[in-house]
Structure 1
Amino acid sequence: MEAASTAPIASGGVPRVFAVIRALSAVQVEGGRVTQLARAVGLTQGTTHRLLQSLVAEGMVEQDERSKLYRLSMDFFALAAKAGNPGDLRSLCRPALLRLCASLGDSIFLLVRSGFDAVCLDRSEGPFPIRSFTGDIGGRVALGVGQGALAILAFLPEAEREEVIRFNLSRVREYGVFDEVYLRTEIERVRQLGYAGRNTGLLEGMAGVAVPILDREGRAVAALSVGTISARLNDDRLPTVVELLKREAAAIGPKINPFDVTLRRPAQSLGGSTPEQRVVPGVDRGSVVDPLG
């Protein structure tokens, strides 16, 4: 076996370094042993160990002291995220909102999770006057209330989803049509369909549909929602709207920066300047609103 060394890697070893990084990415959850990684990249154990130790020295790989398993480090992901997506989620999604608004002729909303709530991070206004649970940019609603917030809740990891349900159940009951059985039934329905789209009856004549935006780990961090009048979201048009939403969400997901401050503190990305409130004349902004979130 070759002797291990932490000497700097020569330029000729760059392809081997990336081979090891790719092998590590495939076992990131459970971690990998030198023997396992060596087989995966087709190198000797000594060479693989030397490469791993050099990556450890650079802070790109970490080794568990007890199990001796290797994983890509947080510094590696931070570096990749910074290089791969310099913009925030709002900037990343803005073109999608504009495309959807132009294609569908309806109002489009971007919601992002904030603890037990969903926050309206951005919106593109369509020609039809509609109201939403979150109101304008910066408004928030409990996860589970409204189509966008329901889409996010439905696609959270199970443990997180259960925690949110327990915390928010009393909050969603305030709307008068929710109980735990109903909420869980709706969540299961959304998970099966891949979207939340239904007129809940909270506001006559209004309708909405939303799809989750999933990050690289399959976790729902945001949602794209359409808000419109019920007549424009009938059974014939719904599949087309859902397909357009899913296409845009699928394109956004892989580009999301996991270290974007938007995902942890959405209000900070609003820039402190909220657009003029858009409300239907004669309707109080705090009243019960349409089912899109």
Structure 2
Amino acid sequence: MTTSPAATGGVPRVFSVIRALAEAQADGARVTQVARHVGLTQATTHRLLQSLIGEGMVEQDERTKLYRLSIDFFALAAKAGNPGNLRELCRPVLLRLCASLGDSIFLLVRSGFEAVCLDRSEGPFPIRSFTGDVGGRVALGVGQGALAILAFLPQEEREEVIRFNLARVREYGVYDEVYLRTEIERVRQAGFAARNSGLLEGMAGVAVPILDREGRAVAALSVGTIADRLNPERLPTVVELLKREAATIGPKINPFDATLRRPAQSLASSPAPQRIDGTQPGATP
């Protein structure tokens, strides 16, 4: 973190500390780092941090003693910046794509080294998917949606995910590091992921990333269907529709949306999805 002149007055000092934490690494910062950044004494900085903890805006890791902005801070910022969350924003898109294509549409969001199925709109064809129901998880790199997210992460994050997930994706029997990296590069060049790996017999999928304002992949729109419906003649039309919808979502994404930090919280408060006939789904879409 870079050093800035000390702010004068109580409120400016508080906000200088908040800004310092916002610029810190994801794990947080030590009181000495924050003090150096804002140009205040360690004692004053510690007092301000404790006040922010008391208001629920800052939290301290008990093990590392690092300070970071709390989930309550991000929730408050989300309400101020945009009343909607990612699932609400994308729901009309899923319904529109499902009606247009006649296939099942999935919304996947990144959660650490995994992709979580945040929502879906089910088409008339019985299919299987890697994530299954809403709330299902799969390692980033497995399945078209998770691969689309992985391919469009910043390079440093992408490399970290590959190192962590390589052993997991190898469990599927057809993946190795060369294959995974080749697929990632192909997806980056094409702008979408679409290949029937044979892992789910008779099934096929295509996915495009949803990029935030900084061009970072935070989610993916994915079509799951039977293999015959994603033939070379139809694939370009499906991809174009997905890309068009994803492009409309990206600029509207609230960077403080708690869904992007804690996908499970959004799922816990959401009603269970239903099939188009109104019945509850089983273990797979």
TM over 0.5: yes
In the alignment, residue 92 of structure 1 is paired with which amino acid?
L
Q: State the distance in 2 between where 1:135 and 1:62 align.
A: 40
The answer for the alignment partner of 2:272 in structure 1 is: 274
Q: 1:80 Cα deviation (Å)?
A: 7.4
Alpha-carbon distance change, 164 to 62 in structure 1, aligned in 2, over 3 angstroms = closer
In the alignment, residue 231 of structure 2 is paired with which amino acid?
N
Q: State the distance in 2 between where 1:193 and 1:263 align.
A: 25
The answer for the alignment partner of 1:202 in structure 2 is: 199
The answer for the alignment partner of 1:121 in structure 2 is: 118
Q: State the distance in 1 between where 2:19 and 2:162 align.
A: 36
Q: State the distance in 1 between where 2:263 and 2:83 align.
A: 17
Q: State the distance in 2 between where 1:171 and 1:78 align.
A: 33
5+ residue gaps in structure 2?
Answer: 3-8, 21-36, 40-68, 275-279
8 Å CA contact 1:190–1:196 kept in 2: the answer is: yes
User: Greater CA radius of gyration, 1 or 2?
Assistant: 1
Q: State the distance in 2 between where 1:165 and 1:58 align.
A: 39
Q: State the distance in 2 between where 1:58 and 1:252 align.
A: 34
Q: State the distance in 2 between where 1:272 and 1:226 align.
A: 22
Identity of aligned residues (%): 80
In the alignment, residue 130 of structure 2 is paired with which amino acid?
F
8 Å CA contact 1:109–1:226 kept in 2: the answer is: yes
In the alignment, residue 278 of structure 1 is paired with which amino acid?
P
The answer for the alignment partner of 2:160 in structure 1 is: 163
The answer for the alignment partner of 1:218 in structure 2 is: 215
SS in 1 for 2:223: strand
In the alignment, residue 275 of structure 1 is paired with which amino acid?
P
Q: State the distance in 2 between where 1:236 and 1:210 align.
A: 17
5+ residue gaps in structure 1?
Answer: 1-29, 31-52, 67-73, 280-284
In the alignment, residue 203 of structure 1 is paired with which amino acid?
L
Q: 1:205 Cα deviation (Å)?
A: 1.6
* Alpha-carbon RMSD: 3.2
| Residues 84-99 of structure 1: pairs in structure 2 closer than 5 A | 84-99=81-96
Alpha-carbon distance change, 198 to 214 in structure 1, aligned in 2, over 3 angstroms = same
8 Å CA contact 1:120–1:140 kept in 2: the answer is: yes
Q: State the distance in 2 between where 1:159 and 1:178 align.
A: 21
Q: Which of 137, 140, 161 is residue 140 of structure 1 equivalent to? A: 137
Q: 1:57 Cα deviation (Å)?
A: 7.9
Deviations 1:208-229 (A, max 9, x none): 0000001111110000000011
Alignment size in residue pairs: 230
Q: 1:84 Cα deviation (Å)?
A: 4.1
8 Å CA contact 1:151–1:196 kept in 2: the answer is: yes
The answer for the alignment partner of 1:172 in structure 2 is: 169
Alpha-carbon distance change, 62 to 143 in structure 1, aligned in 2, over 3 angstroms = closer
Alpha-carbon distance change, 220 to 84 in structure 1, aligned in 2, over 3 angstroms = same
The answer for the alignment partner of 1:151 in structure 2 is: 148
In the alignment, residue 281 of structure 2 is paired with which amino acid?
R
The answer for the alignment partner of 1:71 in structure 2 is: none
Q: 1:204 Cα deviation (Å)?
A: 2.3
8 Å CA contact 2:129–2:200 kept in 1: the answer is: no
Q: State the distance in 1 between where 2:12 and 2:235 align.
A: 51
Alpha-carbon distance change, 110 to 62 in structure 1, aligned in 2, over 3 angstroms = closer
Alpha-carbon distance change, 128 to 120 in structure 1, aligned in 2, over 3 angstroms = same
SS in 1 for 2:232: coil
Q: State the distance in 2 between where 1:259 and 1:193 align.
A: 29
Q: 1:274 Cα deviation (Å)?
A: 3.4
Deviations 1:9-62 (A, max 9, x none): xxxxxxxxxxxxxxxxxxxxx9xxxxxxxxxxxxxxxxxxxxxx9x96894996
8 Å CA contact 2:75–2:258 kept in 1: the answer is: no
Q: State the distance in 1 between where 2:176 and 2:109 align.
A: 24
